[in-house]
Amino acid sequence: MPALVIGLGNPGGEYARTRHNVGWMVLDELERRGRFGRSHKHGLARVREGTLDGMDVVTARPTTYMNLSGRAGKQLTDHYPVSAHDAIVVHDEADFPLGKIQIKITGRSAGHKGVQSLMDSWRTQDFVRVRIGVGRPEGSSDLVDHVLETFDRDERERLPVIIDRAADAVIAIMREGPEPAMGQFNRAPVT
């Protein structure tokens, strides 16, 4: 059974380097580390199949906007021999400071529209998430604008280490399981 890693983000070049697309950035890093075939369309997602550290892996980027990610997630788990409980979802988390990585295996969406869409489509809250802190805007700035903006210069300098650590977290989940990976990554200092 392959590991199914779903990165949440928005399609379109204007969103490519935004905070909301940090999940896609982690997939880029995972694919760089492994051996993956060409990207192809499967339903409402772009997928790449390959191997990473000797494990079969499918990376998937929903081609819907973030708040409709569940449609793609449902199609993926219907097609691949992976249940929603075994999928790994990688996404931004505005409630965390930039660089905080947290693995979560159940619970509510915390207001994240992409995660909520997956919950609605899969009809469960029980799936593994790698939450990547992107921070909240200062003052009364709009959260939606914040996550749809690109990282500022200081954040961009820190981003490679954050993406690298989030990719490490995904690999640890695949190799050791979510609970041991939680012990390793959830207590770690913010990068």
Q: Looking at the annotation, which residues are catalytic?
A: 20
Between CA 150 and CA 138 the distance in angstroms is: 15
Between CA 121 and CA 190 the distance in angstroms is: 32
Q: How many CB atoms lie within 10 A of CB 122?
A: 18
Q: What are phi and psi of 57, to 5 degrees?
A: -140, 140
Per-residue burial over 129-164, b if 16 or more Cβ lie within 10 Å, else e, is bbbbbbbeeeeeeeeeebbbeebeeeeeeebeebbe
Between CA 121 and CA 152 the distance in angstroms is: 34
